[in-house]
Amino acid sequence: MTTQSTLTKTVTIQYVAMLREQAQRSREVLQTNASSYLELYQQVKAKYGFPLAVEDIKVAVNHEFCDLTSPVDDYAFVIFIPPVCGG
């Protein structure tokens, strides 16, 4: 039998660019039951009212790009990356 505590994972999320401005913080540690980084983004999107659709976001986990559908790792360092412009 799986308990709630075994489903909960601790992640550190770093917010960058417009997401940092919207969340009014650069980093936070969250407890989550999200099974994928897609679900995790949907949670923080709802929490902070991020305007960007999932299709517009990239994710890096532990300093490497990964797919949003990848399972959430306990103690992961997560950066959701919005589109940016630059030259």
- What is the SS3 assignment for the chain? CCCHHHHCEEEEEEECHHHHHHHCCCEEEEEECCCEHHHHHHHHHHHHCCCCCHHHCEEEECCEEECCCCECCCCEEEEEECCCCCC
Per residue in 25-57, pLDDT (tens digit) is 999 999 999 999 999 999 999 999 999 999 999
Per residue in 3-12, pLDDT (tens digit) is 444 589 999 9
pTM (two decimals): 0.88
